[in-house]
Amino acid sequence: MAGLAAAFGSGAMTNSIAEVEEAELFFIIGTNTTAQHPLIGSRIINAKERGAKIILADPRRIQLADYADIHLRHNIGTDVALLNGMMNIIIEEDIYDKRYVEERTENFDQLKAVVSRYTPRVVEQITSVRASDLEDAARAYATTGKSMLFYAMGITQHATGTDNVKTCANLAMLTGHVGRPSTGVNPLRGQNNVQGACDMGGLPNVFSGYQQVANEEMRKKFERAWDVEKLDGKVGLTITKMMAAAQEGDLKSLYIMGENPMLSDPDISHIELALSNLDFLVVQDIFMSETARLADVVLPATSFAEKSGTYTNTERKVQIAHKAIDPPGSARDDWDIICEVSRRSGYPMNYSSTADILKEINELTPSYAGITCERLVKGYGLQWPCTNEEHPGTPYLHKDKFTKGIGSFLPCDFKPVSEVPDEEYDFLLTTGRIYYHFHTGTMTRRISILDREASEPLVEINPDDARRLGISNNDEVELISRRGSIKVKAEVTDRVPKRVVFSTFHFHEAPVNLLTNPVFDPVSGIPEYKGCAVRVRRCA
């Protein structure tokens, strides 16, 4: 969000899922789409079968590699160098969109100066991608009329995550692949309604619709609506900064909803210390998660099937959901719990239904003004911005101009992962998800069919490394980092390159985030989950 907002003025997926059907080329980087967004992945494969091309940039040989016309198997954490190298070729070969660059962007000379250093041979040394493959990818992306760029957490979950996103935006603007159907820069969101949570102000620096809390005019608008005298204009803390503040004793209490940092956050040992150091911890969730077990109070919420309301998906589409079954026991809707806590804290929050809440969203959030309950009940969802009740919604962004007016090239230089392998810790660990489980497994591991298909954690290790260490399939191995160790069974596979191991964070039995490095992107605060140094040892 930080990177795209700086480049375009809007930090959201620029195009729509349906536009995959008409795309002519897909540049897929940092997303295992068929495993983590399988419905979108299936559309990409269907488009491939109709003649579309696929350029895949991924250190692992994921399923999409079987469909890819070009697989750029770059070293972990070298995304900026790879993308800069593509732009170097596009500019040198004069195949960039000159008119688009001149009319719709700024800072091109700065971009040109930076990427001039990333010649194909230099990039080959940094990324291990052959110069000829890089040239083929750059030419194909630049010269194809409808090229869609997709990325996910393989791009963002680095200490240079914001730089990675800015560089994706640079590449798309350079080639004119923004503001038209079946093009764009398309981040695939990692969880249901994470886009909606951000849209509604679930960030420390904005109200709903990305209206800045530091802006006095915006604060006055919300003060009037909420009938309060003064709203604080101070920007709050991101999750990772909250944990640091809790450990230092500067943060005294925390209210966690639908999040399980005791499995999902980096360096879990320190997360446990931070949460244990709080004076008061509230967890609101549908199950007793690893984090909920540490709470002073657990508030039981309802699942998706037990409540009504709206969700905003990865393509900015707001869709309505209706309650299907009654909740168990004393479980209550999240909004209802929040209202009750607010009332008991001295501020009456008197919404009677989710329709009431959506009405206030319409009144206070310009991009949602036309997404009313009445319209959603009649149709199949509306994509923001939708500024009035006659507006049809916006399938793709930045049609005639960028949200910020002129798009900004924001050139970045390559920086390696923060913790590179050495003699003592000679492997690079990267983490992710698998097809059968979701996030920390709070829900999916309670489903017998899914747990049957993937019932235990594994670590992928390259066959050459396995032979050298005397490791066979299903052997128990120990992964050791500077922060801790876990034991897990080995899966010997060429999906991972030499000196790289891959594991997931779904399983509490081997919580891989005991190992990950708690370094953060300086802009967004996102942790570097995608690369840390480890040692691999076969257990006796």
Domain edges within the chain = 2-188, 194-383, 427-538
For residue 1, what pLDDT is reported? 80
Taking alpha carbons only, the member of 497, 492, 535 closest to residue 77 is 497
Q: Confirm whether 2-188 and 427-538 share one CATH topology.
A: no
Handedness of CA 433, 538, 75, 5 (dihedral sign): positive
End-to-end Cα distance, the chain: 46
Whether residue 328 is preceded by a cis peptide bond, meaning omega within 30 degrees of 0, is no
Question: Can you give the length of the chain in residues?
Answer: 540
Could you tell me the two tokens for 244?
Answer: 């640091």
User: Is 70:55 a contact under the CB 8 Å cutoff?
Assistant: yes
Give the DSSP per-residue string, 283-294.
Answer: EEESS--TTGGG
**Residue ranges of the alpha helices (H) in 277-378?**
334-344, 354-364, 373-378
Could you tell me the two tokens for 369?
Answer: 């003004």
Task: Please give the DSSP secondary-structure letter assigned to residue 530.
Answer: T
CATH 1.10.3720.10 describes domain 194-383: no
**CATH number assigned to the domain covering 2-188:** 3.40.228.10
Distance CA 419, CA 533 (A): 6
How many other CB atoms sit within 10 Å of the CB of residue 443?
A: 15
Judged against a pLDDT cut of 90, whether residue 535 lies above it is answered with: yes
Pick the CATH number of 427-538 from 2.40.40.20, 3.90.1140.10, 3.90.76.10, 3.40.50.300: 2.40.40.20
pTM above 0.75, yes or no: yes
Share of the chain above pLDDT 70, in %: 100
Query: Which of 85-89, 339-343, 378-382 is predicted with the least confidence, judged by mean pLDDT?
Result: 378-382
Could you tell me the two tokens for 58?
Answer: 């991924």
Distance CA 92, CA 36 (A): 36
**pLDDT band, residue 440 (cuts 50/70/90):** confident
Distance CA 88, CA 222 (A): 47
Helix or strand (DSSP H, E) at 33: helix 33-36
Query: Which of 182-186, 297-301, 488-492, 525-529 is predicted with the least confidence, judged by mean pLDDT?
Result: 525-529
Q: What is the pLDDT of residues 217-275, one digit of tens each?
A: 999 999 999 999 999 999 999 988 999 999 999 999 999 998 999 998 888 999 999 99
Q: What is the pLDDT of residues 455-466, one digit of tens each?
A: 899 999 999 999
**Residue ranges of the alpha helices (H) in 367-406?**
373-378
How many other CB atoms sit within 10 Å of the CB of residue 99?
A: 8
Q: What is the pLDDT of residues 391-432, one digit of tens each?
A: 999 999 999 999 999 999 999 999 999 999 999 999 999 999
User: Is 505:263 a contact under the CB 8 Å cutoff?
Assistant: yes
User: Is 306:326 a contact under the CB 8 Å cutoff?
Assistant: yes
